[in-house]
Structures are given as C-alpha cells and as structure tokens.
C-alpha cells in the first residue's frame, strides 16, 4: 500500500513537472495529459478529432503521454485518413519513429502494411472505426506493442504471421470485422476481443484455445461473442452461429468428464441441438462402462443427453431423478448392473423426457407399470420412447400372466427376453390359464372346505331328522345312534 502511494505521489509530481516542460517547449497543440496504464490501448473519442476546416489543416495531432514505464513519450491521433493523405497527414504531425502511441480513426485503406520502421517503437496501435480490407506483412522484431486495436474496420484478412513477433502483446481487439481466420499469435497470456466478428470459424478458435491453453487466452465480451460453424467440422452439421461459450466448453469437456481414483469416463459431443429462439447447444454423451462403479457419477458435464453405465455394480437410480446434472438426460443405459428397483424414477423429469431407458440384465423383480405407463397418454410422441428390461427376472403370478404380459409386449422393446424368477419361463410365454389355477393358491381351498362343511351339515341334519322319525314311528333308534353311549341329554328323551 505504501509503495503505491509513493508511486502515485511520484506520478503527480512528474505530471506537473512535465506540464511546465511542455509549455516551455511551447508545442502548439497542448491537450490534457493522458495517463495510461500499461495494458490500455491509446484511444481517443470522435469528439477529440483534430479540427480540419481548411484543406491545409493537419488531420493528425500530437498528444503528450505519461505512462508508467517511461514518461518521455509521444502519441499521435489522426482522423479520417485515406491512402492519398495517409503519409502526408502523419508527417504534418511530425510523426517519427519515436512516437509510442498511435490511434487512427476512420482510415479508408485497401491494406495496412505493418512492416516498417515507422511502427517499430509503437507500444499501442489503434486503427479503429474505418474501412481497412487487409493487414499485410509482419511487424519488426522486438516491436514493443502491448495493445493492438483493429476494431470495426470490416477487415477481411489479417496475414497469418502478422503479429507473431509481438512478444509483448497483451490485448488484441479484433471486434466488428469480417475476418474468417485468426492470425497466429505468440503463445503469451492475451486478452482478445472478437465480439461482432461473426465470420470467424469456430474451428479456428477451438484450435487457438487448444494450442495456447485456455488460461492463456481470455476473451473480452465473451458472452456476446459467436463464431461460425462450418459444415465440415466435427459435430457441427450446419453453418450456424455458435456461442463462443460452446467452443470454450469443447476444450473443457475432457476435464469435466467424471473420473475417480481408478476409473475414468469418456465424454464426447454427440450433436448440436438447435432449438428455435435459443442459442445452439452441444449435446454431450458420457460413457462410464465397465468401471466397477457402485453408484452413478455425481457430476456430469453440462447438457449430457446420454449416459452409458453398463457393466458396473450400480444398485440405485436416485441420481437420475434428483441430481441436477442429470436434468438433460434422454438416453440412459445401465445394462448388467445390480439395480433392483425403478420406484425412485416415479414422477421424475427423466421419465417425462426420455427417449431410451435400458436396464437389461439387472435385478428388477417387480415392475410398477404405472410408473412407466402414464407417459403414453400424456404425450403422443412417446411411441418413440423405448424401454429395455430383458434379462431381468420378475416375480410371476396370475396377474403377470394376465396383465403384465400384455403390457410388456406393448411397451418393452425386448419383452421376449424378460424372465420369471419363480418359474422357468419367459413372461411372454406364461399362460394365464396355467398361472391362475396355480395349486398353491390357498383361496381355492377355502371354497372346497366351505362346500364340504355345508354338505356335512346338511347330511347331519337329514340323518338326525330321519333318526327322530324312525324312533317316533318304529320305536327304535337306527344305527349308529343305538350303538352310541348314553349322554346326559338322552335322559330327556327317555323321560317321555
């Protein structure tokens, strides 16, 4: 903090000292002093343009500059130059190769040649808001330019190696131009602005990021920056304006891909999703097969639409309905795992949107069809949805044979591979007649027992009535009543 104050004081002193000196030199066009930070381009507004009233008036002017590095520097600001008055205008402002800062506004040029002694001491060069078609040739070695502003010129081309010798370049503004390729830059940390230059190929930018590393290249106004995707490049099928974010994301995908201590998933782009009215997004697919995972990966890359976790030891599907990074999932493959229940999927967003749910060869024994069914009625396009649960062993009973079998055949792609856990049969081969008279069904016995009891009761009453009639009319008791031992109640009969 202390040294900052010291520097500021030093500055203030310097600035006032300079003013006197300049005034004693009596440079005609004294303008307000500009103190410039090292990574700022020298830039003047339109209102500050030199006034040109007579044809003799110079469209350029000198401006004293005070920068942190070295105070003894000169800047030149020019407006409305073209190829005819270019050299003479610079000359009338006494432009020399000692000038460190140059801003030329509204230059109309076929091309701008950056080779030349003129430019070799420039710390900042701004050619803005004009019409320049090409940037040609190459800066001299050791040119100390740290800021280059070529904004808003409708540039069509910058020669590939033009800037490669600018070893100190920190800020490059190429916004609002029509270039299709980025020029090569030396691999230093760099702020670059390509907003409004929608003609750049995403492919180029991606290569740029890949080559220089994302930490080294930073984009100004990146939220407003788009690039063009070519027909021939990767997953970009059509020529589209793709947000820069997506391209940056591309180089980040591998680092966002789920991994653990001894496992690693693989992520790649599946396609570009184009929804009208929205910016196109890149859809990601993730492959985590054969990793001995016991649970689903906790975070997936953004906009993951497909996940393959086959051949693992996953037991629960909770993440599919609760984890926000699973929100865009359309295709889910978890074949050959230990999943025993799909109950957790009930009412999940996944079931509203999915295209494929594959849970083949798991441990699912009950299938609550109501969880998977409602989608049919809600959405007519749901016929495109497919569920696979072949290789699971369901608990089979009469209901399975009567109803689930039909349901499976209408909804499940591999219905003919769904097995029964308790009978050695496929569900689709179950016969309702056989399953529904299954002897183990105890409710059937009850009817037999009740019927038997009723028959027994009726015959007992009949026998007693008959015995009574015989006893009354014939005077003796038929067998077996006469053989039975006397009971206390018998005395009642014998009394009359």
Ligand X SMILES: *[C@@H]1O[C@H](CO)[C@@H](O)[C@H](O)[C@H]1NC(C)=O
C-beta of residue 258 within 8 angstroms of C-beta of residue 299: yes
Judged by CB under 6 A, which of 74, 310, 362, 400 binds ligand X? 310
Judged by CB under 6 A, which of 184, 355, 398, 477 binds ligand X? 184
DSSP 3-state assignment of 100?
Answer: strand
Judged by CB under 6 A, which of 308, 348, 392, 400 binds ligand X? 308
Judged by CB under 6 A, which of 185, 190, 226, 250 binds ligand X? 250
Question: Closer CB to ligand X, residue 180 or residue 321?
Answer: 180
178 near ligand X, judged by CB under 6 A = yes
- How far apart CA 322 and CA 345 sit, in angstroms, is 9
Angle at 162 between CA 157 and CA 165, to 5 degrees: 160
247 is written with which tokens? 């391209």
Q: Give 233: exposed, middle or buried? Use CB within 10 Å, 0-12, 13-18, 19+.
A: middle
326 is written with which tokens? 């699973």
CA atoms within a 13 Å half-sphere pointing along the CA-CB vector of 33 = 19
Judged by CB under 6 A, which of 2, 4, 26, 28 binds ligand X? 28
Please give the residues from 96 up to 125 whose contact with ligand X meets the rule CB under 6 A: 106, 108, 113, 115-116
Distances (CA, A) of 262 to 151, 258, 267, 290, 292: 49, 11, 17, 12, 10
Question: Closer CB to ligand X, residue 419 or residue 481?
Answer: 419
- How far apart CA 252 and CA 256 sit, in angstroms, is 6
Least Å distance, CB 115 to ligand X, is 4
Least Å distance, CB 310 to ligand X, is 4
Question: Closer CB to ligand X, residue 12 or residue 456?
Answer: 12
Least Å distance, CB 74 to ligand X, is 9
C-beta of residue 77 within 8 angstroms of C-beta of residue 50: yes
Judged by CB under 6 A, which of 19, 180, 251, 325 binds ligand X? 251
Judged by CB under 6 A, which of 333, 350, 354, 361 binds ligand X? 333
- Segment near ligand X (CB under 6 A); pick from 24-32, 314-322, 413-421, 485-493: 24-32
337 near ligand X, judged by CB under 6 A = no
Put residue 213 in one of left, alpha, beta given phi > 0 → left and psi -120 to 50 → alpha.
left
43 near ligand X, judged by CB under 6 A = yes
- How far apart CA 294 and CA 401 sit, in angstroms, is 33
104 is written with which tokens? 């030329």
Q: What sections of 392-489 are H helices per DSSP? A: 398-399, 405-411, 432-436, 442-474
DSSP state of 82: B
Residue 287: closest CA among 270, 307, 304:
307
Least Å distance, CB 178 to ligand X, is 4
- How far apart CA 13 and CA 474 sit, in angstroms, is 150
Least Å distance, CB 100 to ligand X, is 15
Question: Closer CB to ligand X, residue 401 or residue 412?
Answer: 412
325 near ligand X, judged by CB under 6 A = no
311 near ligand X, judged by CB under 6 A = yes
- How far apart CA 256 and CA 254 sit, in angstroms, is 5
Judged by CB under 6 A, which of 15, 19, 31, 393 binds ligand X? 31
19 near ligand X, judged by CB under 6 A = no
Please give the residues from 211 up to 230 whose contact with ligand X meets the rule CB under 6 A: 223
94 near ligand X, judged by CB under 6 A = yes
426 near ligand X, judged by CB under 6 A = no
Q: Give the list of residues 6+ apart from residue 113 with CB closer than 8 angstroms, or none.
A: 136, 137
Site string for ligand X, 44-83 (x = CB under 6 A): ------------------x-----------------x-x-
Total residues contacting ligand X by CB under 6 A comes to: 49
- How far apart CA 135 and CA 152 sit, in angstroms, is 13
Site string for ligand X, 135-174 (x = CB under 6 A): -xx-----------x-xx-x-x---xx--x------x-x-
Question: Closer CB to ligand X, residue 128 or residue 281?
Answer: 128
Judged by CB under 6 A, which of 128, 143, 348, 362 binds ligand X? 128
Distances (CA, A) of 135 to 112, 155, 193, 225, 398: 5, 8, 17, 22, 82
Please give the residues from 359 up to 388 whose contact with ligand X meets the rule CB under 6 A: none
26-50 core/surface letters (b: 16 or more CB in 10 A; e: else): eeeeeeeebebeeebbbbbeeeebb
* Strand pairing category for 171-173 and 157-158: unpaired
Judged by CB under 6 A, which of 23, 88, 237, 409 binds ligand X? 237
Please give the residues from 254 up to 293 whose contact with ligand X meets the rule CB under 6 A: 271, 289, 292
- Cα dihedral 311/313/318/321 (nearest 10): 0
Cis peptide before 292 (omega within 30 of 0): no
Least Å distance, CB 328 to ligand X, is 17
Longest dimension (CA), the chain: 163
Question: Closer CB to ligand X, residue 312 or residue 400?
Answer: 312
353 near ligand X, judged by CB under 6 A = no
329 is written with which tokens? 């999932």
Contact residues toward ligand X (CB under 6 A) are: 27-28, 31-32, 41, 43, 62, 80, 82, 93-94, 106, 108, 113, 115-116, 126, 128-129, 136-137, 149, 151-152, 154, 156, 160-161, 164, 171, 173, 178, 181, 184, 206, 210, 223, 237, 250-251, 271, 289, 292, 294, 308, 310-311, 313, 333
């Amino acid at each position: 903090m202390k040294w900052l104050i010291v520097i500021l004081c030093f500055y203030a002193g310097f600035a006032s000292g300079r003013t006197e000196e300049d005034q004693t030199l009596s440079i005609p066009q004294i303008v307000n002093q500009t103190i410039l930070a090292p990574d700022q381009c020298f830039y003047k507004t339109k209102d500050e343009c030199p006034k040109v009233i007579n044809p003799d008036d110079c469209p350029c002017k000198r401006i004293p500059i005070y920068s942190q590095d070295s105070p003894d520097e000169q800047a030149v600001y020019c407006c409305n130059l073209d190829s005819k008055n270019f050299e003479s205008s610079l000359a009338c402002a006494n432009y020399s190769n000692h000038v460190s800062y140059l801003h030329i506004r509204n230059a109309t040029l076929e091309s701008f040649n950056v080779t030349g002694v003129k430019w070799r001491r420039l710390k900042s060069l701004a050619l803005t808001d004009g019409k320049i078609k090409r940037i040609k040739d190459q800066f001299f070695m050791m040119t100390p330019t740290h800021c280059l502003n070529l904004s808003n010129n409708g540039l069509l081309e910058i020669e590939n190696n033009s800037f490669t010798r600018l070893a100190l370049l920190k800020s490059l503004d190429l916004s609002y131009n029509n270039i299709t390729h980025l020029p090569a830059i030396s691999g230093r940390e760099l702020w670059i602005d390509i907003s409004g230059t929608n003609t750049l190929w995403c492919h180029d930018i991606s290569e740029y990021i890949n080559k220089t590393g994302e930490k080294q290249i930073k984009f100004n106004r990146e939220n407003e920056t788009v690039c063009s995707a070519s027909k021939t490049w990767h997953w970009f099928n059509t020529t589209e304006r793709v947000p820069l974010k997506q391209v940056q994301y591309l180089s980040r995908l591998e680092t966002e891909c789920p991994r653990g201590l001894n496992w690693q998933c693989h992520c790649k782009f599946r396609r570009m999703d184009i929804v009208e009215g929205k910016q196109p997004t890149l859809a990601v697919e993730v492959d985590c097969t054969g990793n001995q995972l016991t649970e689903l990966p906790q975070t997936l890359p953004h906009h993951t639409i497909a996940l393959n976790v086959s051949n693992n030891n996953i037991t629960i599907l909770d993440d599919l309905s609760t984890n926000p990074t699973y929100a865009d999932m359309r295709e889910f493959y978890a074949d050959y795992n230990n999943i025993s229940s799909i109950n957790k999927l009930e009412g999940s967003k996944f079931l509203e949107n999915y295209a494929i749910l594959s849970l083949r060869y798991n441990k699912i024994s009950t299938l609550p069809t109501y969880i998977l069914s409602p989608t049919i009625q809600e959405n007519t396009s749901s016929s495109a949805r497919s569920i696979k649960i072949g290789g699971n062993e369901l608990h089979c009973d009469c209901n399975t044979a009567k109803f689930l079998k039909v349901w499976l055949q209408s909804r499940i792609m591999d219905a003919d591979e769904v097995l029964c856990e308790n009978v050695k049969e496929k569900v689709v081969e179950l016969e309702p007649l056989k399953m529904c008279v299954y002897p183990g069904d105890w409710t059937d016995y009850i009817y037999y027992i009740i019927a038997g009891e009723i028959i027994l009761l009726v015959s007992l009453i009949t026998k007693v009535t008959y015995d009574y009639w015989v006893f009354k009319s014939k005077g003796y008791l038929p067998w077996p009543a006469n053989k039975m031992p006397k009971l206390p109640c018998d005395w009642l009969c014998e009394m009359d």
